Amino acid sequence: MVVRSLILALSMVLMACSNNQGGKSQANNENNGSKGLSETPVSAKESEMVYFKSGTFIMGSANGLPNEQPVHKVTVQSFKIDKYPVTVKNFRRFVEATGYTTDAERFGDSGVFDFNTSSWTLIPGANWQYPLGKNSSRAADNK
């Protein structure tokens, strides 16, 4: 359960980081022919990325839960995302290569999703290295 939420969170973090790596936006990288996302891949398979073209869609619900309202138009810029899940080992290499610090590390805590209760809990010390907090086990490299 926690592993799935960690993978999702790491994917979102890497996606956000890749949109402003080295001061260039992903759009600029596309325009100048650069591949962007210049991390040295561990293997060809791990470096495969899927490109999503920008687009607009309608999001929300007129009669759903309060956090689903209002219905509104959302535009998503083009982006690339890893085809395969990012492992903790790969994320550690990224952190070591770039000096990146996650929000959870800066804040000192992070939300952890509980699949049994379908809710988030703020856990002191939780981050990509210790997904359940500093008093828990360190994340395995292959997860």
Which residue's entry shows tokens 């085809």? 83
Q: What is the block-wise mean pLDDT of the chain (143 residues), using blocks of 10 residues?
A: 43 42 37 40 63 96 92 96 90 95 96 92 96 93 79
Q: Which domain holds residue 110?
A: 2-124
Cis ω for the linkage preceding 41 (within 30 of 0): no
Number of domains in the chain: 1
Answer whether residue 76 is part of any domain: yes
Give this prediction's pTM. Answer: 0.52
Q: How far apart are CA 132 and CA 140, in angstroms?
A: 12
What pLDDT score was predicted for residue 84?
A: 87
Answer whether residue 139 is part of any domain: no
Answer whether residue 131 is part of any domain: no
Answer whether residue 8 is part of any domain: yes
Answer whether residue 133 is part of any domain: no
Answer whether residue 11 is part of any domain: yes
Q: How far apart are CA 55 and CA 63, in angstroms?
A: 25
Answer whether residue 58 is part of any domain: yes
Answer whether residue 103 is part of any domain: yes
Which residue's entry shows tokens 């790491």? 10
Residues facing residue 127 across a β-bridge: none
